[in-house]
């Protein structure tokens, strides 16, 4: 067994300000006292345990939020979702994560690389973490708190590794530690050196149990975290903001966490909703569609950028929430013999549908379309705009113009000849199109066509497609251009 503990320094702050960008002094309070703060606040003299009024006096632009246990739980579950990519055995432990890694080391190229990738993944989702490894989960947690970076591979090495740690890493609370402190005990090593009977007499029973678990002398069962197959996570901005760079940065936290979670489930999403919450108004909802299942955070970010460029936000955004319910399985892709991954047909298709969605995100849904053929002989009905990818091929007809006018242009007539900036000379052959009469059978309908099409040469030698309408008043019309 090899357990990796991930602890998050200043966890209440990290959970509350996942979108921090290191430019403002931030703090989290509980009961009028500061309980967590960032480096900026520390530099200005703010300390843990200070009264809020004192803290504000020291750092007037300090942004303070009260502690939110629900947000901390949700954030820890988000972080656990990211960690699931590396091992299925992830358990939540108050404000830390415990990962059993013995089965994953080979796949991720050893403990060093796994740990680096894991911490990078978490950092992209807005979590800074410290780690330690040990054969038991509790020892890993204590080491991560007391001596980050330490790695103990064997049970036999545990007593020596744990000995210098202060008693506070056990997290049993001041009341339980007080009798030991009174006896002058400061570190775990000093406690381990005492006879058990002496400790039991000093009410240190609960601590002894924990110590036994940490040293592997008693079982310490952990329940694997099972993440649901849907995404719903939320981040708050330190201050409500409207500029798209800030919003994109905050959204990227969500996307990175979501995509790591999707990678763990070998899934992707084809659609997700990004809610931009305002303070006193209903949220602005951006629906991001990728066309093909994806778990690429950059793709989602670029779609968001297009949406943000198009809409006007009614108010500054206070929080962002990402939701996606329909997960689609994304099978993995094998490399070829030489390790290369050539773009396959499905990839070209994925890129093709992504292009359509990206263009639509900015230009609007109707601005992008394909053309589908139809059996209707009326030239204006021979093609109709359809959803890209659903177009059917049309019937090929020679002697037809490349461009069709949206509305036929009525032509003047002089001496019985059609006229457009000069006389039009018609070619010999004509094509009669008689269609649409079935629309109205007895009553002549507006869509009915009874036309003789001619190819005509204009005064500038341009080749046009004109027709004479057989319904009164028998006018000439220009309908197409041989471009």
Partner 1 sequence: MKHRNAALAPVLQQRTDIWAANDLPDAAQPGIPSGHPALDAELPGGGWPVGELTEVLSDCHGHGEMSLLLPWMAAASRREGWLVWVTPPARPHLPALAAAGLHTSRLLVIDADRPAERVWALRQALESGACTGLAGWLNKADTAMLRRLQLAARATTLPLVLFRPLDDRHLPSPAGLRLLLSPGPEHALRVDILKRRGRPASEPLHLRTRAIHPPATPLPPVAIRSPRRPALTLIA
373: contact with partner 1 by CB under 8 A: yes
Q: State in angstroms the smallest separation of the CB of 105 from partner 1.
A: 36
Chain residues 37-56 in contact with partner 1, contact rule CB under 8 A: none
Total residues contacting partner 1 (rule CB under 8 A)?
Answer: 73
348 touching partner 1, by CB under 8 A: yes
Distance CA 72, CA 77 (A): 9
Dihedral of alpha carbons 115, 121, 124, 130, sign: negative
| C-alpha span between 216 and 47 (Å, rounded) | 37
- C-alpha–C-alpha distance, residues 83 and 294, integer Å: 19
Element (DSSP H or E) covering residue 70: helix 69-83
427 binds partner 1 (CB under 8 A): yes
Q: Which two tokens stand for residue 170?
A: 């056990």
| Phi, psi for 102 (deg, rounded to 5) | -60, -25
Nearest residue (CB) to partner 1, 190 versus 431: 431
Residue 399 lies near partner 1 (rule: CB under 8 A): yes
When asked if residue 474 is in the footprint of partner 1 (CB under 8 A), the reply is yes
Contact flag: residue 473 with partner 1 (CB under 8 A): no
Point out which span in 3-11, 69-77, 254-262, 358-366 binds partner 1 (CB under 8 A): 358-366
Query: CB neighbours (10 Å) of residue 42?
Result: 15
Residues 430 to 449 in contact with partner 1, rule: CB under 8 A? 430, 432, 434, 437, 441-442
Assess 60 for contact with partner 1 (CB under 8 A): no
462 binds partner 1 (CB under 8 A): yes
**Which among 221, 227, 181, 222 has a CA at the least distance from the CA of 77?**
227
Asked whether position 391 contacts partner 1 by CB under 8 A, the answer is yes
Question: Would you call 356 exposed, middle or buried from its count of C-beta atoms within 10 A (0-12, 13-18, 19+)?
Answer: middle
- If the CB atoms of residues 105 and 450 are measured against partner 1, the closer one turns out to be 450
Smaller CB distance to partner 1: residue 60 or 483?
483
349 scored as a contact of partner 1 (CB under 8 A):
yes
Establish if 192 lies at the interface with partner 1 (CB under 8 A): no
Among 404, 419, 431, 447, binds partner 1 (CB under 8 A): 404
Residue 452, both tokens = 């003789």
- Between 160 and 434, CB nearer to partner 1: 434
What are the start-end ranges of the H helices in 173-296?
A: 174-182, 188-193, 196-201, 205-214, 244-264
The CA angle 388-379-400, to the nearest 5 degrees, is 95
Nearer to partner 1, 119 or 302 (CB): 302
Query: Is 345 a residue that touches partner 1 (CB under 8 A)?
Result: yes
Does 458 participate in binding partner 1 (rule CB under 8 A)? yes
Q: Does residue number 420 form part of the binding site for partner 1 (CB under 8 A)? A: no
Nearer to partner 1, 234 or 400 (CB): 400
- Of 12-20, 24-32, 176-184, 376-384, which segment contacts partner 1 by CB under 8 A? 376-384
Residues found in the chain: 483
By the rule CB under 8 A, 172 interacts with partner 1: no
- Dump the DSSP string for 419-450: ESSSBPEEEEEEEEEEE-GGGTTTSPPTT-EE
Q: Establish if 414 lies at the interface with partner 1 (CB under 8 A).
A: no
- Residue 270 binds partner 1, judged by CB under 8 A: no
Please tell me whether residue 480 binds partner 1 under the rule CB under 8 A. Answer: yes
- Does 358 engage in binding with partner 1 (CB under 8 A)? yes
Q: Which residue has 């002398």 as its token pair?
A: 217
- Name the segment binding partner 1 (CB under 8 A); options: 92-100, 172-180, 194-202, 403-411: 403-411
Pinpoint the alpha helices (H) of 85-128.
110-124
DSSP letter assigned to residue 153: -
Q: Is 238 left (phi over 0), alpha (psi -120 to 50) or beta?
A: alpha
């Amino acid at each position: 067994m090899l357990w990796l503990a991930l602890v998050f320094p200043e966890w209440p702050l990290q959970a509350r300000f996942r979108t921090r960008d290191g430019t403002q002094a931030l703090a989290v309070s509980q009961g009028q006292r500061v309980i967590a703060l960032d480096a900026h606040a520390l530099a200005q003299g703010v300390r843990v345990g200070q009264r809020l009024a004192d803290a504000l006096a020291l750092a007037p632009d300090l942004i303070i939020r009260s502690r939110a246990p629900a947000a901390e739980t949700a954030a820890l579950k988000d972080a656990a979702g990211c960690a699931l990519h590396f091992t299925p055995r992830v358990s939540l432990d108050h404000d830390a994560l415990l990962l059993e890694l013995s089965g994953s080391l080979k796949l991720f190229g050893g403990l060093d690389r796994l740990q680096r990738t894991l911490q990078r993944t978490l950092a992209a989702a807005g979590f800074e973490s410290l780690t330690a490894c040990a054969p038991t989960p509790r020892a890993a947690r204590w080491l991560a708190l007391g001596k980050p970076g330490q790695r103990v591979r064997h049970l036999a090495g545990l007593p020596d590794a744990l000995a210098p740690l202060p008693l506070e890493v056990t997290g049993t609370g001041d009341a339980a530690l007080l009798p030991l402190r009174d006896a002058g005990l400061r570190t775990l090593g000093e406690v381990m050196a005492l006879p058990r009977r002496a400790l039991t007499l000093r009410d240190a029973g609960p601590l002894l149990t924990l110590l036994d678990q940490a040293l592997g002398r008693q079982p310490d069962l952990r329940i694997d975290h099972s993440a649901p197959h849907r995404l719903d996570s939320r981040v708050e901005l330190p201050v409500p903001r409207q500029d798209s760079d800030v919003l994109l940065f905050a959204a990227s936290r969500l996307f990175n966490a979501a995509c790591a979670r999707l990678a763990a489930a070998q899934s992707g999403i084809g659609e997700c909703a990004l809610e931009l919450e305002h303070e006193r108004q209903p949220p602005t909802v951006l629906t991001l569609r990728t066309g093909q299942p994806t778990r690429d955070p950059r793709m989602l970010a670029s779609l968001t950028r297009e949406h943000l460029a198009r809409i006007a936000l009614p108010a500054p955004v206070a929080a962002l929430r990402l939701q996606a319910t329909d997960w689609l399985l994304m099978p993995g892709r094998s490399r070829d013999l030489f390790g290369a991954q050539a773009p396959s047909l499905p990839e070209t298709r994925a890129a093709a549908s992504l292009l359509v969605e990206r263009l639509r995100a900015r230009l609007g849904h109707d601005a992008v379309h394909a053309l589908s053929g139809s059996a209707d002989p009326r030239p204006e009905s021979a093609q109709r705009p359809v959803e890209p990818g659903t177009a059917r091929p049309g019937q090929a007809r020679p002697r037809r113009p490349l461009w069709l006018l949206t509305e036929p242009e009525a032509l003047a007539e002089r001496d019985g000849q059609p006229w457009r900036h000069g006389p039009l000379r018609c070619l010999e052959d004509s094509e009669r199109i008689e269609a649409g009469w079935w629309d109205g059978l007895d009553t002549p309908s507006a869509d009915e066509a009874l036309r003789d099409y001619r190819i005509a040469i204009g005064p500038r030698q341009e080749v046009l497609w004109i027709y004479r309408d057989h319904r009164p008043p028998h006018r000439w019309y220009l309908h197409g251009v041989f471009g």
